Structure 1
Amino acid sequence: MTFSRGAVEEIAAALAASGLILRGGFSFGDDQVAPAGPSGAPAKSVLLVGQAGAAPWPHFQRWLGQQARDIANPLDTWSREVIGAVAQGRGARAVSPSDRPYLPFQQWAMRAEGLKPSPLGILMHPTYGLWHAYRGALLFEDEIPLPDAHVAIHLCDICVEKPCLKSCPVDAYSGQGFAHEACLGHVRGPRGEPCRSGGCLDRNACPFGTDYRYPPEVQAFHMAAFARL
């Protein structure tokens, strides 16, 4: 399959029908170990698929209302179905961040969009702030003509106060990394109601990308998934 700008735009339009967007991409170098493409041969190019803000939420909710109540990992399942359907007939293999063995999605995202991690580990986007996500990727055995990613301004470098490191009651994030057990214990405990209902206090304290902040019900959904770990 020969790729043109029109083919990439067609993929973007198909994803947009479910609230998803292309998040950049790149071609693997000859000296890089690439994952398998649709035929099993090494992929030559990858397109990242994700979201900005909560645009996929209504599409996901409609789908969820048609599923069994006890469906496991519903958002991952929905994402796989949507991205997998887009891959069909377009010479692509769809992969997910939760696939085993894990693929280096964060490294791919940093390369595709020129982003860097925030103190919370989430990549900081110059427009979306911390309110974005990567839901999957499309692997191709053809080279896709894509412009090189420009290194984005890293907003964390100009943020002096760092409120994202001062809002958590149990100091879950620090220079030593993420205190998973302390965070989980707090979220599950009696004082964790604000986190359970409205999301991570540190993440919400970030002053950037607030127009894309997930609504409370979306944040509560993600926090509930975290608390079940």
Structure 2
Amino acid sequence: MKDQGVREKAGHEWLDSLGFQIRAVLDPGCSPSALWDEFGRLGIDLTSNARLVLLAMGGTRLWNRIQKRVKTGADPFDTFAIYAANQVSSEYWGCDQIELLYPGSLAVPLQRLGRFAGCSYPSPIGVDLHPVYGPWFAYRAVFLIHAELQLTELESGGSPCESCADKPCVAGCPVGAVSLADGIDLGRCIEHRLLPRSGCADRCRSRLMCPVGKKWQYGESQLAYHGNRSLVSLTRWAQSPASRDQTTV
């Protein structure tokens, strides 16, 4: 058992070194009923004796590792996350096979899962905030593993927004799409973002104004990479009425 604990810890340290600093190991059986039902609608069986593992990146560490691969065509984040999930499971956690839920074709409820795990909280800008990294984090992998990993202690802290007095994200939006009461007005946001020379094409000004996790803010190249990929998807979504019924932004 001691050796198992040492290897489990080493696996977490290895993931941290790669850039997956945010991790949660969950008991699927303790999931809220709404989350359980959502997984059920996706055909995911959470009744098996397995752990549900969530991996997320924070800041620029993962980007610095993989940025040279961004021109290869395939999504380098997805490719590397799949590698990391399989590698940590087989080399450190004693399990040669995992059930990878994300990345993939399933619409895994990442925000709901992350909130349940205590990794993030809702914010007015439409993306969740991590208590340390603020808006500068992203979920990268979710998988089921048959290994007796130590469960993450779930914390029920408050949103970082609650202690933010100035709320610069609201003033930072050039079209007033961010509201404390109503959250983000996606229609207004999207309409402005798709305009020529909007200043918001590859980055969100409100997100840049958020004071939480400021030192972990993405650098220029990473901002442009994520922003441009998002813009391409958003443009395709806006131009295809059929896709609007199936896609969320």
Asked if Structure 1 and Structure 2 have the same fold, meaning a TM-score greater than 0.5 normalized by the shorter chain, the answer is yes
Answering whether residue 16 of structure 2 is matched by residue 16 of structure 1, we say yes
Answering whether residue 170 of structure 2 is matched by residue 165 of structure 1, we say yes
Q: Alignment partner of 2:197: what SS?
A: helix
Distance 1:140 1:228, change over 3 A: same
* Match in the other structure for 2:237: none
Q: CA deviation at 1:43?
A: 5.3
Answering whether residue 101 of structure 2 is matched by residue 100 of structure 1, we say no
* Match in the other structure for 2:81: 79
Per-residue CA deviations over 1:164-216 (Å, capped at 9, x if unaligned) read 122111233334443334333433323323x346x210011111211111112
1:126 to 122, 131, 146: 131
8 Å contact kept, 1:87–1:138: no
* Match in the other structure for 2:218: 214
Q: Alignment partner of 1:49: what SS?
A: strand
8 Å contact kept, 1:163–1:206: yes
Per-residue CA deviations over 1:47-79 (Å, capped at 9, x if unaligned) read 2111111111121213335x2xxx254433343
8 Å contact kept, 2:25–2:150: no
8 Å contact kept, 1:115–1:151: no
**Greater RCO, 1 or 2 (C-alpha within 8 Å, sep 6+):** 1
8 Å contact kept, 1:50–1:134: yes
TM-score calculated relative to the size of structure 2: 0.73
Q: How does 1:191-210 map to 2 (within 5 A)?
A: 191-193=197-199, 195-196=200-201, 199-210=203-214
Q: How does 1:129-144 map to 2 (within 5 A)?
A: 129-144=134-149
Matches of 2:209 and 2:217, distance apart in 1? 11
Counterpart residue type for residue 227 of structure 1: L
Q: What root-mean-square deviation, in Å, do the aligned CA atoms of Structure 1 and Structure 2 show?
A: 3.0
Answering whether residue 63 of structure 2 is matched by residue 57 of structure 1, we say yes
* Match in the other structure for 1:226: 230
2:190 to 173, 184, 196: 184
TM-score calculated relative to the size of structure 1: 0.79
Q: Alignment partner of 2:53: what SS?
A: strand
Any stretches of 5+ residues in structure 1 without a counterpart?
none
Q: Which has the higher helix share?
A: 2
Counterpart residue type for residue 47 of structure 1: V
